[in-house]
Structure 1
Amino acid sequence: MKKSTSEIIEQLIFYAVIFLILREWLIPIMMLTDTGYLSLFLMFIALCLLLGVFKLRVYFSWPIKIVYITWFTMFVYNDGTLTTMQFLSNELNYNLNVLLAGDWILVSDPFRTSLFFLLIWMLIYLIQHWVTVRLTIYYFLVLTVFFIATLDTFTGYDGTMAIIKVMILGLVMTSVLFIKRLMQATNMQKDWRSYFTYAMPIVVLVMVVGIVAVLLPKAEPQWPDPVPYLKGVAGVGDSNSSVATVGYGNNDENLGGPFAGDNTVVFEVKTPIRQYWRVETKDYYTSKGWIQSENTNATEILPVYNDVPLSIAPGSGEEQTVEVRSLENHPFLLQAYGTTNYQLNSPESEIKFNKSSEKMSVFINGEDVMQEAYALTFKEPKHSFTTLKTMTTSYQNDPRYLQLPDKLPQRVIDLAHEITESHDSVYDKARAIEDYFKRSGFAYETQNVAKPDADEDYVDQFLFETKLGYCDNFSTSMAVLLRAVGIQARWVKGFASGERITSSNGIHTYEVKNNDAHSWVEAYIDGIGWVPFEPTIGFSNPVNIDYDMDLQNDEEEVIPNAEDAETPEVEKPEVQKNTATGSGVAFNFSQYKWVLYAIAIVLLIAIFALWKLRGKWQPKLAIQRNRSKLKDASTFEDSYFVLLKQLERIDLKRRQDETLKQYAKRVDDRLETTKMSELTAVYEEVIYAGVSNNFNTNEVKEIWEYLINRTSS
């Protein structure tokens, strides 16, 4: 039945309040996960609520929402090198492989984002049901307050103002919905004058009480903060450790401990592909952190525009340019993988290159200076998957990258051999260690992070005691595990790619913040050179691999589509499911994809058919579910409301200005019967007159079933 203008305005007001409350859900999620595009997520919420106001059919509303989700995914994650269909096909193939192999933690960021949109979609549908059908917002309000209070207690998010806003909006909404329920129960005709007469005093009272509650002085907390107590019980963290601020630092001798986030933007980068920004490497692990073992001051002054002698050789592809604008006082130069040379603004500028750590800075008149803006050219290295899988040694280069402390616990070495014993190639061993952290109960954490005692090893503590940490814990542990099995490895410092803010003509602008300061690992493979690896949970490997191996000849590893390898956003990891015996079993999606597509199409057709034929099966389902409940006069009211709901489904909703007799007569005229009037007469006797002596259960049940069945014809 078509809504009146007043009903649409009323629902718009309700949904505007819901939008404001949902915004308080979204803000801390975006803040704590460092996720951008808040305005686009809010636009999706607004779109879902608007479609709910106008009650569009699902074959109109669902495609609109799906198109929006698809557009968002393409806008954020596709760099323009692939068409829409290629990008979506690659993502579908890869994520189905991952899900069917049981490696859910490896799903891609676009897939996770789509799932988050679906979660928002379902949440809004549930809220709309509560508001429009149940006429209550109580459960949603309680969930919201609990959610914000939990984040306020256990994270760095301050939810004080959010809880105040949610409580004021929620109480106002609860009061208005209560008035609406009363008006419906008493068959009171709604007009805006009476509506505001009842609602405005409640709204004003809630607002005044809320403002007074904020302004009045508060007593000190009566209970201690539960977080330190819970940490003590769990044995996590160190109450005496100081909390550092995240960012790029020069001293890495004592790693560990919590740190506070910092969203200060330190670089603005314009790049054709998403990548990590390398700054320096370190080679000597002290059991507490990293230092540079030798040749610390072995520097070389390079003329501008000369090729830089980095140990990672450029690729053979097209030369590309990156523009960097430095916003903080960092004198070093960012490096892309495959950097060839730099273009600096000042003619007096030279480049100081540390041969040991490969750190570079701008050198003018004998001093390191910050270069506010510069450009670099690079040729992205691309590694042959076939070659990576065949190389089994890491002896060449430099033995200092195999250094380990004399007192490294034996169980660390044993674990390294246990992880890699079923693999032959250096690459496979490194990938096994890289994936170990994702499968063995480790978690990314920045607050409850322990610092090793004087007699403890930093890696040993992380691997066997806490399993909680951030990039330094994961990268250091992987480097040590690699060295323990004879693979040369070094610790790399720099920045993750940052947040993409704009894109134009294939060039993407990223904001790199202090929060993006990062560390990862490079392993040396004979005949190939240094290859980057990313063990930290939630981050993507920056390596670019040419998957040139025939899929049919590789039984242990499922290789993503070749087009995936060209997508610079993330590396598509190997999909491998480990059994108890350590053997690999992979599901070959390519072989069965058309069967799965056919099953998906059949399921969609079946769902659509069930929805189209709901008028046939819904009445029968309603009878089956409620027949046994109609036992006597005391349960008749509930059964009568079930009937009203079925009549509403066929556009026979009772109008607010109709009495029950008028409504029953209209139903009888529509259904060409007199049974509704008979049943309504019994209802009025039982409910209003309180007469139940003549209530004939069997006869009433028969009429009730007859009318519900008529709604299906």
Structure 2
Amino acid sequence: MKRSTSEKIELAVFYIIIFLILREWLVPIMQLTKTGYFMQFLLFIAICLTIGVFSLPVLLSWPIKVLYITWFITSVYNDGEFTTWQFLSNELRYNVEVILNGDWILVSDPFRTSLFFILIWMLIYLIQHWVSVRHTIYYFLVLTVFFIATLDTFTEYDGKLAIIKVMILGLVLTSLLFIKRLMQSANMQKDWTSYFIYATPIILFVTIAGLTAAYLPKAEPQWPDPVPYMKGMVGLGGSSSQTVATVGYGENDESLGGPFVGDNTVVYEIETPIRQYWRVETKDYYTSKGWVHTGGRDVLSDLQFSHPIEFSVMPGETEPQTVEVHSMGDYNFLLQAYGTTSYSTNDPTNLLRFNHTNEKLNLLSNREIVKPTVYEMTFQQPEYSFTALKETLSSTGSDPRYLQLPDELPQRVIDLAHEITDGHASIYNKARAIENYFARSGYKYETTNVAVPKADEDYVDQFLFETKLGYCDNFSTSMVVMLRAVGIQARWVKGFSAGERVASNADLTTYQVTNNDAHSWVEAYIDGVGWMPFEPTVGFSNPVNIDYDVESTQEEQLPEMETPEVERPEPEEQDTVTGGATKASSIDFTKYKWVFYVLGGILLLAAIIAWRKRGKWQPKLVVQMNRAKLNNPNNFEDAYFILLKQLERIYLKRGSHETLQQFAKRVDHDLETTKMSELTYVYEQYIYAGKSKEFDVAKMKESWEYLINRTSS
């Protein structure tokens, strides 16, 4: 139904209020999930609502939305290594295979973002139905308040101000929609003067009452807070005696475990040509509760900037690249890119202090450690030969301290490590088997309900066999211990993950690294290759650079190369084990690809046939959807416009020069009936004379259904 200008203005006012309410939905989602690009998501909401105001047809509105989603996905996640179509094709193929194999946790970030856009799309469609057809917003308002209140109660999000804004906006919109329903039921023509007379006092009263209630003093709670009790009942919280730490980079790792709360404080802003992890230090001695240095002794060297730094991770043979780091936090160490060769600062008198024991690097001024503010590092990214990785069968060339395990380590941890790596010959394949074990065996990333091992309990054993809940420290420590258990030299690495991409300029991308990005991972030593990073934590991906310098065969499929911005753990084909028991192999859907292609072709053909034959089934569907409405005379106008739309589909369109009666006579002539003229006469009486109760509703309903069904003949 085509809307008049006044109706579009009215609907635009409604949708502006809806936009402001939806913004309050989006803010906590962005904050709690640490998702960027807030303005781009808001723009998508604005586009959807604008399309709703102008009632653009589906053939135009859907492509606009799909093109926007495609633009966002490719601009954010595709760094130019592939063309747009190659990137989208690879993403679609990968995610279809992951979903068909049942590994939903491994779907890529672009796919998850697409689903989030579709969720917003569907939500707005539902809201438009409530506002435009039902003329009510009650359920949406209640749902919004419940959503924000739940997040305010059970997360660190503070929703007090958001609830106030939502209540004021929701009550204003509810009042405007009530006025609209009132004017329709009274058959009043829209008069903007009367409209403002009714609406203004309501808006003023709601706004003043809401602001007054927000700023008035409030009494203290009269009952104890039930939330901690509820969390304890459902297992979301620890005991009252357990302290909750704040996430961030810490120096003491002797006692790992326990929950922590997030901290979005930005500590670094980094301009880098490639996405990567930011290394700080390593630790080698596992105590069954945490990590310390061997013997607790540090070997230090003070170096000029021109002196080489003896990092154990050797630079690659790639072109030297430069990273610029802006430090905004209180950390006094220097970050390391993989393959770092040198540093530079604005003050040439500074020195570098290198700790040979844990490879931590500090900045010295007058022989005192100072906090760096802005510095550059040059690196040559290591590139690992896939041929060398697959052919190396030993890990003996570094230092025996990287095989240390506590004497009291439970035997079942060692047995599990051997079961996971059984059947793999190369060191790399064994490490990859352990790395992928966690994602396939029911382990979950968790920051709140994380246990602390008891005095007689091993930290790794507790995580592997008891809780299966934890964050990066649990996953990385467990992988290091299992690697050592099968004779692979490994060490625990601390630093920061890549951070959030906030800008891109030419070949450089700017990332913001917060305390939430403090991270730990694993490095394993492979003879002839050196130290190589691995990432076992569920939901994280390792930006390692591998040169696939062999031809893949049917027996040995190469893993898909990871792009810098796509976190995509690689599905493995071998069986995994859970708690020492072999996990049953899932059905290999890849063998039946042709079945899904055939089914897809059949569905596509059926959709095409249904679209071409819509003249047969669409009128019947219209009758079924609108039959109940015609029991109410107030819906007669909408039903008449639906009939005009159906007649237009069979090329009976009202001309610009025709009156309704002239058009009705032409329709009756073509369809060999008199019902269109009868229906039009009643419509004119209803619109212009307000005689809504003087016609036979049942008879008009019968005439309307007859004409609708005739359009399918």
Unmatched runs of 5 consecutive residues or more in structure 2: 576-581, 649-658
Percent of pairs identical after alignment? 63
Distance 2:283 2:430 in 1: 22
Report deviation, 1:408.
2.2
Distance 1:369 1:325, change over 3 A: same
Match of 1:156 in 2: 156
Q: In the TM superposition, what are the counterparts of 1:224-263 in structure 2 within 5 Å?
A: 224-235=224-235, 236-263=237-264
Distance 1:34 1:417, change over 3 A: same
The letter for the 2-side match of 1:86 is Q
Distance 2:189 2:364 in 1: 81
Distance 1:108 1:337, change over 3 A: same
SS in 1 for 2:363: strand
Report deviation, 1:28.
0.3
Q: How large is the RMSD of aligned CA atoms in angstroms? A: 3.5
Report deviation, 1:496.
0.9
SS in 1 for 2:42: helix
Contact 2:665 2:677 in 1 (8 A): no
Distance 1:189 1:669, change over 3 A: farther
Q: In the TM superposition, what are the counterparts of 1:44-443 in structure 2 within 5 Å?
A: 44-235=44-235, 236-294=237-295, 296-443=297-444
Report deviation, 1:95.
2.5
Report deviation, 1:252.
0.9
Task: Tell me which moved more, 404-413 or 311-320.
Answer: 404-413
Distance 2:480 2:665 in 1: 81
Q: In the TM superposition, what are the counterparts of 1:389-538 in structure 2 within 5 Å?
A: 389-538=390-539
Distance 1:48 1:36 in 2: 20
Report deviation, 1:292.
0.8
Match of 2:651 in 1: none
Report deviation, 1:32.
0.5
Distance 1:648 1:415 in 2: 71
Report deviation, 1:141.
1.3
Distance 1:558 1:575 in 2: 11
Contact 1:296 1:357 in 2 (8 A): no
Distance 1:89 1:386, change over 3 A: farther
Is residue 574 of structure 1 aligned with residue 570 of structure 2?
Answer: yes
- Per-residue CA deviation, residues 126-157 of structure 1 (Å, 9 max, x unaligned), is 11122112222122112211211111111101
Report deviation, 1:583.
5.0
Distance 1:191 1:87, change over 3 A: same
Distance 1:465 1:389 in 2: 34
Distance 1:626 1:123, change over 3 A: closer
SS in 2 for 1:35: coil
Unmatched runs of 5 consecutive residues or more in structure 1: 653-662
Contact 1:305 1:343 in 2 (8 A): no
Distance 1:651 1:258 in 2: 65
- Per-residue CA deviation, residues 662-683 of structure 1 (Å, 9 max, x unaligned), is x996884463243256579999
Contact 2:109 2:567 in 1 (8 A): no
Distance 1:322 1:102 in 2: 40
- Per-residue CA deviation, residues 558-601 of structure 1 (Å, 9 max, x unaligned), is 632xxx44x32246432236677655865659x969x9789768
The letter for the 1-side match of 2:125 is Y
Q: In the TM superposition, what are the counterparts of 1:2-21 in structure 2 within 5 Å?
A: 2-21=2-21
Q: In the TM superposition, what are the counterparts of 1:696-711 in structure 2 within 5 Å?
A: 703-711=703-711
Contact 1:577 1:585 in 2 (8 A): no
Distance 1:170 1:670 in 2: 47
Task: Tell me which moved more, 39-48 or 702-711.
Answer: 702-711
Distance 1:464 1:408 in 2: 13
The letter for the 2-side match of 1:647 is L
Distance 2:613 2:139 in 1: 32
Task: Tell me which moved more, 637-646 or 521-530.
Answer: 637-646
Match of 2:551 in 1: 550
The letter for the 2-side match of 1:247 is G
Distance 2:336 2:476 in 1: 19
Contact 2:351 2:363 in 1 (8 A): yes
Distance 1:157 1:572, change over 3 A: closer
Distance 1:7 1:320 in 2: 59
Report deviation, 1:283.
0.8
Is residue 675 of structure 1 aligned with residue 675 of structure 2?
Answer: yes
Distance 2:381 2:183 in 1: 69
Contact 2:73 2:114 in 1 (8 A): yes
Distance 1:552 1:100, change over 3 A: farther
Distance 1:638 1:12, change over 3 A: closer
- Per-residue CA deviation, residues 603-643 of structure 1 (Å, 9 max, x unaligned), is 5676466457544422123446788x89xxx9687997995
Task: Tell me which moved more, 349-358 or 270-279.
Answer: 349-358
Equivalent residues, number: 689
Contact 2:444 2:469 in 1 (8 A): yes
Report deviation, 1:483.
2.1
Contact 1:578 1:584 in 2 (8 A): no
The letter for the 2-side match of 1:436 is Y
Contact 1:551 1:559 in 2 (8 A): no
Distance 1:526 1:384 in 2: 13
Task: Tell me which moved more, 291-300 or 187-196.
Answer: 291-300
TM-score norm. by structure 2 comes to 0.87
Distance 1:639 1:649 in 2: 16
Distance 1:51 1:327, change over 3 A: same
Distance 1:471 1:66, change over 3 A: same
Contact 1:492 1:522 in 2 (8 A): yes
Report deviation, 1:244.
2.1
The letter for the 1-side match of 2:667 is L
SS in 2 for 1:278: strand
Contact 1:281 1:358 in 2 (8 A): yes
Report deviation, 1:45.
0.8
Report deviation, 1:106.
1.4
The letter for the 2-side match of 1:102 is G
Distance 2:233 2:546 in 1: 46
Match of 1:41 in 2: 41
Contact 1:148 1:163 in 2 (8 A): yes
Contact 1:94 1:572 in 2 (8 A): no
Report deviation, 1:343.
2.1
Contact 1:576 1:585 in 2 (8 A): no
Report deviation, 1:290.
0.8
Task: Tell me which moved more, 221-230 or 451-460.
Answer: 221-230
Contact 2:634 2:692 in 1 (8 A): no
The letter for the 1-side match of 2:292 is I
TM-score norm. by structure 1 comes to 0.87
- Per-residue CA deviation, residues 62-83 of structure 1 (Å, 9 max, x unaligned), is 2222222222223322333443
Distance 1:362 1:208, change over 3 A: closer
Distance 2:144 2:466 in 1: 35
Distance 1:666 1:175, change over 3 A: farther
Distance 1:466 1:134, change over 3 A: same
The letter for the 2-side match of 1:145 is V
SS in 1 for 2:706: helix
SS in 1 for 2:134: coil
Task: Tell me which moved more, 155-164 or 447-456.
Answer: 447-456
Report deviation, 1:421.
3.0
Report deviation, 1:691.
8.6
Distance 1:29 1:82 in 2: 30
The letter for the 2-side match of 1:276 is Y
Contact 1:247 1:514 in 2 (8 A): yes
SS in 2 for 1:133: helix
Match of 2:23 in 1: 23
Contact 2:101 2:586 in 1 (8 A): no
Report deviation, 1:16.
0.4
